[in-house]
Chains A and B, each alone.
Chain A
């Protein structure tokens, strides 16, 4: 027995029923849980930003740039868990140069690039160009040049040019909403299109992923807004929280309904995979599905948000409730990703047994690596907020 197979023998000892011999080892671990989670945060944060811009929800204005920069910092990291889980990461570039048109994963590369280059970067650029030109003139030394480069040398800040910034930015936002929908719907499709796996293969998968993405993104922006205000020692505007909370409430209801419908459909149709899936959710996924995703991530936040809609608690209480709700929702959505990704691999495709899964702490596919990819975007966000502080932007009269 070679030592590095030991963990496989351990899993084999813990497997139940019959699994195909090649199924002992789980192929996608915690990194692939983190990947749709991060991508979801991006899409959700962007959609919240677009609300302000396209639907003119003025009250959300203080969160507009925060949401955009949050989306950007997470998007920059979004592919990293994917690449670091490859067993030949040095070949990752092949996805871009010879993308297989029938592969959901290959096309994701282009959806990602489109979203990064055409939507997010452009929208932020148009939004910040005026300020960056002004900052370039104010600053000295290195920073002057940094801003100069960031403006791409477009220094025209005549009203006519600035007006075009607004117009083009608006167009990008309008393109951006379906793009954000596609980006995360696509992540759902990566799973939903695997017909070999009954736990994944449902046409609702992209839609469920999309709505849970919006839930998590909105919750994240809520938290980021509160935390930034705390560090800047500025008062949190409770009206802003209320507005975000209201959207979170509605989207959470939609998300909950959709996932419920999916499960009802599954239970009623009771196809050949039904027995094994029933066993799966009642044993291996019990904690993460019913407790973590259902109770902690959905029922409690929904109740809290419902009360917040109808009762005007003291401001301090409301802030605390929003903060805790935001965290619980993020835990819930993370659990949802876990249930989909890990849950879908725990049962055998023979529908006759289960393998088991234990997350390692270290290694390329371990908890620390996953935690790193989750923390890194927060660092990037701090950097971006320092480089492009929304509160120092040149005020535009409109």
Chain B
């Protein structure tokens, strides 16, 4: 029997061929540049992720100017608390050196109480806890305590 190629087959093969080639051409142009360099992702995206600007400058940046505070802090229990824990993001202030660009906490009972209020669940051994209902009512913490050196009491 003579070999018979049904006419449908070559025509469909051409149609599918066109479709697949079109797809491959499109794919060639659409895949982003650095895709697949390290894994199944755009390697340049790591550069994007490293781009955002800082808000928190880090303690070392503060100490470049505020050596005195560093000295004070180093002598007391707040030594390990970084400046921006209480002062908030400082990068703007680091760049401008303007007083208005850094937050100055009030030293009120609420502000200090966030960490120091007596409270079940906070570990007593590592942090001083104060019963705000009994401890020197009516006074702000900052009136007696220096936040940079809390046990150096003000007179």
Within the complex, are A and B direct neighbours (CB within 8 Å)? yes
A residues lining the B interface (CB < 8 Å): 93-94, 96-98, 100-101, 117, 122, 126, 129, 152-154, 156, 160-161, 164-165, 168
Question: What are the nearest 5 A-B pairs in CB distance?
Answer: A164-B6, A97-B27, A156-B7, A97-B30, A154-B11
- Count, chain B residues at interface, CB 8 A: 17
Q: In residues 1-53 of chain B, which contact A (Cβ within 8 Å)?
A: 4, 6-9, 11-12, 15-16, 19, 23, 26-27, 30-31, 35, 40
Measured in the bound complex, the distance between the Cα atoms of B16 and A161 in whole Å is 20
Known: A98-B31, A98-B35, A152-B15. A164 touches B40 (CB 8 A): no
Contact of B40 among A98, A129, A152, A168 (CB under 8 A): A98
Q: Is the CB of B8 within 8 A of A126?
A: yes
- Specify the chain B residue showing the minimal Cβ separation from A99: B40
Q: Is the CB of B27 within 8 A of A154?
A: no
- Specify the chain A residue showing the minimal Cβ separation from B23: A96
Which residues of chain B come closer than 8 Å to A168, judged between CB atoms?
6, 8-9
Contact of B7 among A94, A101, A161 (CB under 8 A): A161
Mark contacts of B107-132 with chain A using CB atoms, 8 A cut-off: 1 yes-contact digit, 0 otherwise.
00000000000000000000000000
Which residues of chain A come closer than 8 Å to B16, judged between CB atoms?
117
Q: Is the CB of A97 within 8 A of B6?
A: no
A–B pairs, 15, beta carbons within 8 Å? A94-B30, A96-B23, A96-B27, A97-B27, A97-B31, A100-B40, A117-B19, A122-B12, A152-B15, A153-B11, A154-B7, A160-B4, A161-B8, A168-B6, A168-B8
Question: How far is the CB of B116 from the nearest CB of chain A, in Å?
Answer: 26
Q: Is the CB of A129 within 8 A of B30?
A: no
Which residues of chain B come closer than 8 Å to A126, judged between CB atoms?
8
Question: How far is the CB of B33 from the nearest CB of chain A, in Å?
Answer: 12
Measured in the bound complex, the distance between the Cα atoms of B27 and A376 in whole Å is 30
Which residues of chain A come closer than 8 Å to B35, judged between CB atoms?
98
Question: How far is the CB of B11 from the nearest CB of chain A, in Å?
Answer: 5
Contact of B26 among A97, A101, A122 (CB under 8 A): A97
- Specify the chain B residue showing the minimal Cβ separation from A122: B12
Which residues of chain B come closer than 8 Å to A156, judged between CB atoms?
7
Measured in the bound complex, the distance between the Cα atoms of B11 and A160 in whole Å is 16
Which residues of chain A come closer than 8 Å to B11, judged between CB atoms?
152-154
Question: How far is the CB of B106 from the nearest CB of chain A, in Å?
Answer: 26
Q: Is the CB of A164 within 8 A of B19?
A: no
Q: Is the CB of B8 within 8 A of A164?
A: yes
Question: How far is the CB of B27 from the nearest CB of chain A, in Å?
Answer: 5
Measured in the bound complex, the distance between the Cα atoms of B36 and A100 in whole Å is 11
